[in-house]
Amino acid sequence: MACAAGMMFCQSVSAEPVASSESALVDGNCTEYTRIAAEFSHGVTAYIKQNADHVWLCFTLPAGSSSAGEFILRTPGLATPLVLHVSAQLGQWPLGNEELRPKEGTSSLWWNNTGWAAIPARFNGMEQGDDGPQPRFLPATGQEFQFSRTTFGPGPWTLGGGFYAVSDGEGDRAPARLDDDNGQPLLILRGN
Nearest to 161 by CA among 106, 118, 108: 118
Give Cα separations from 92 to 73, 89, 174 (angstroms): 10, 10, 23
* Better-scored residue on pLDDT, 16 or 144: 144
The pLDDT score that the predictor gives to residue 14 is 34
For the ranges 56-60, 90-94, 146-150, 185-189, the lowest mean pLDDT is seen at 185-189
Residue among 161, 156, 179 nearest 76 (CA): 156
The average confidence (pLDDT) of the chain is 82
3-state secondary structure of 1: coil
Domain boundaries, the chain: 30-98+114-189
* Confidence grade of residue 55 (pLDDT, cut at 50, 70, 90): confident
